Amino acid sequence: MTSKHVLMVAAVMLSCSGVCSAQTLRPASYWKCPTGKPGPVKQMGFNARVEARYSLTQDGPALPSWGSRDDHQGGDGYNTRRLRASYGHQFGEDLLAYAHVRRDWGMDEFEIRDAYLTYSGWDFANLTAGQMKAPFSRDHLTSHIKNPLAERSLISTILAPKRDVGLLLHKADCTDTFGWYAGIYGGDGTNKTNTHGTYLTVLRAEYLATPELNVALDWAHNNSPLNTPYQKLLKKNDGAYGLQTLYDAEAVDEDAWGLDLSFAHGGTRAWAGYTRSNIEGGGRSVAADGWYVKAGHHLPWRGETNTLELVAGYEEFDPNTDVADRLDARWLTIGFNYHVAKSNCQWRLQYVVRDEKQDDVSNNTLILDYEHTFR
C-alpha cells in the first residue's frame, strides 16, 4: 500500500459525517427511478469510492482459495480494497455516457471497469453498448456499498457472468411491474477483445410483485469461454476436476441459470438467490451450484433508527456436485454495519465462519471494513 493510498483513506474518513444510499429493489446499473420519462440511470458528474479493510483469517494448513482477498493468497491483513472513480454525462434526454475506473489492492495501474453509452430514445427498450456488468444475479449487479455483507456470495462471484464488452437491450424502469434484459457479449471478460468468434448470451427477467418484493430469473450461455471466474477457481486450486486442459483448448461451454429475490420494508432488507451452472466439454459434464440468504435490520441507536444495522447471512457453494471436497463451502456471516448519519459512508464489523464439507480447515475470518462514496 502506497503513502498516497494512506492519505486518501485518511482524508475520506475525516470527511465522513454520516447514511448510505437508500435501498432499491431494482439492482441493475442502467436506470434511475424517474419522475417522468424513463432515462438512463447513473448519477451525472464525478463520483469516487474508497474502501479500506483489515481482515484476520485463522491460519489453518493447506487453505483452499475461492478468490477472496480475505484469505492468505489474496492479502489477509490491511489493504485498500477498492479505489474507484466514475464520471457520467447525459446528452439531452436520450443519451448517457458513463465511465468507471479502478485501482484496487494489488493493482499497479488504473483499469477500466465500465465504459458505455446508453440510448433511451425508444419506447420499447433502452440500448447500452460498451463494457458493462452482464445482467445476472442481484448480488453481482448491486454496488458493494449497498450490500448487507462485506462480501458478495460465492455463486455471484464464481458462477455468474461478470463485466464484459457487448450490447444490451433493456426495459426495467423502477416503477415497471415487469422488467427484462437481453445482452450479447464477447465472453472474455473486461478489457478483452473477442478473437475466437464465440459469444456470451445473457437474459434476465424481473417481476416487481409488490413495491417491497422483487423476483428475478437469469439465464446465460458462454460458448468456449476464456478467463471466467470458474476457470480462475480451478487455477487457484491446482487445476481441480481436470478441466483446465479443456479450457486451454477452448473446448468448454458454460451454461448458468439463477433465481433471486429481494425484499425491503422499513428498516429491514433481505436477499436470497440460487444459481446452477453446467460446464461441458470433451465428453465431460460438471455441475456447480449454490445458494445464499442474507438480511439486515436497523436497530435504534442514540436516537437514530437508520444508522446501526444488524446483518447476517448464510450460503452454500458446491463447485462440483459429483465430488465432496474442501471447495464445498458453507459460510455463516454475522455482524454489524454502521451507516454514518447524513453521509455516504459506512463501517462494517463482521465475522465469517467458514466450513468445508471435506478436509475442514481453520479459516474463519474477522473483517473490519470502511467504505465511503463521495461526489
Residue 368 confidence class, pLDDT cut points 50, 70, 90: very high
Walk me through the domains of the chain, giving residue ranges and CATH numbers. Answer: 3-374 (2.40.160.10)
Residue-level pLDDT at 40: 42
Residue 4 sits at φ, ψ, to 5 deg, of -65, -40
- In the structure, what pLDDT confidence band is assigned to residue 187 with cuts at 50, 70 and 90? confident
Residue 20's pLDDT band, with cuts at 50, 70 and 90, is: very low
2: exposed, middle or buried (Cβ count in 10 Å: 0-12, 13-18, 19+): exposed
**Which carries the bigger pLDDT value, residue 349 or residue 240?**
349
Instruction: Please give the single-letter amino acid code of residue 299.
Output: L
**C-alpha closest to that of 331 among 35, 64, 50:** 64
| pLDDT at residue 31 is higher than 60 | no
Burial class (CB in 10 A: 0-12, 13-18, 19+), 198: middle
Indicate whether 358 pLDDT > 60.
Answer: yes
pTM: 0.86
